[in-house]
Amino acid sequence: MSNIISALEWRYATKQFDTERTVSDADIETLKNAINLTATSFGLQPFRVVVVTDQATKEKLRAAAYDQQQLTTASHVFVFAAKQDVSPEYVDGFMKMTAEQRSIPFEAIKGYADYIKGTMASKDAAFVKAWSNKQAYIALGSLLAAAAELKVDACPMEGFDSAQFDEILDLTEKGLSTAVIVPVGYRSAEDQSQHYAKVRFPLEEMFL
Ligand SMILES: Cc1cc2nc3c(=O)[nH]c(=O)nc-3n(C[C@H](O)[C@H](O)[C@H](O)COP(=O)(O)O)c2cc1C
């Protein structure tokens, strides 16, 4: 079996983490890179990520997440916050970075920048928010796969109050709102859900 499939079979949505264990800085760095390397529409990466380690903050987040214990037992909590607006200035900043990182003049890609700005300007605010959220979810997938490969446990979660998360983490003033969260750490021996069989549709049903 390929390594990626055995890693994905090993992983599960962890309900209770071992509070004695902390994910190493090196593994957190790998997870950050996996998130940052994810594909996004136009490459705009219209989200930012807060990595929470402070226990008092985790307690507050747990209260805003239907008291789910993943929040306080995890080593680190990744909070994906989607940009609520993709302004012309943001697109220009991104295109200037593109020009720098590719060592080309900005003028060479100005037309493309104008095209992206035009596309974003043609969408209403609700579309842009939903679109940013979708980009964050692509990164969520990258994080889950990378964590599995590292044998780091994780739980993707959308069972939380995003307005409360935004307040606790001061996201609103930054033009961000919580899209999805992923506590990571190591499974507790007491977490019974690690023994549950995976439930998935057979491939014949999934693939048409
Ligand atoms: C976007 C998303 C949101 C989820 N929200 C929660 C959650 O709030 N709490 C939780 O315990 N599990 C949550 N899950 C975990 C799913 O229930 C779990 O991934 C699914 O049942 C498949 O099981 P597996 O991940 O263990 O293979 C969420 C999963 C995803 C992808």
SS3 call for 53? coil
Q: Is position 204 within any domain?
A: no
Cα 13 to Cα 49, 61, 122: the distances in Å are: 20, 18, 38
Substitution site in 68, 158, 192 for ligand 1 pocket (most atoms within 8 Å of beta carbon): 158
Q: Is position 11 within any domain?
A: yes
For residue 114, the domain's CATH number is 3.40.109.10
User: Model confidence over 113-151: pLDDT tens digits?
Assistant: 999 999 999 999 999 999 999 999 999 999 999 999 999
What is the structure's pLDDT at 185?
98
Cα 157 to Cα 14, 92, 160: the distances in Å are: 10, 33, 8
For residue 166, count other CB atoms closer than 10 A to its CB.
20
Range of the domain at 160: 3-187
Substitution site in 134, 155, 198 for ligand 1 pocket (most atoms within 8 Å of beta carbon): 155
Q: Is position 114 within any domain?
A: yes
Q: Based on the structure, what is the number of domains in the chain?
A: 1
**Which among 29, 17, 1 is positioned nearest to 146, based on CA atoms?**
29
Q: Is position 57 within any domain?
A: yes
Q: Is position 198 within any domain?
A: no
Q: Is position 203 within any domain?
A: no
First to last CA, the chain: 24
User: Model confidence over 42-52: pLDDT tens digits?
Assistant: 999 999 999 99
Residue 47: both structure tokens together: 């989200």
Q: Is position 43 within any domain?
A: yes
pTM: 0.97
**Contact (Cβ atoms closer than 8 angstroms) between residue 2 and residue 149:** no
Residue 1 pLDDT more than 90? no
CA of 182 to the centre of ligand 1 (A): 10
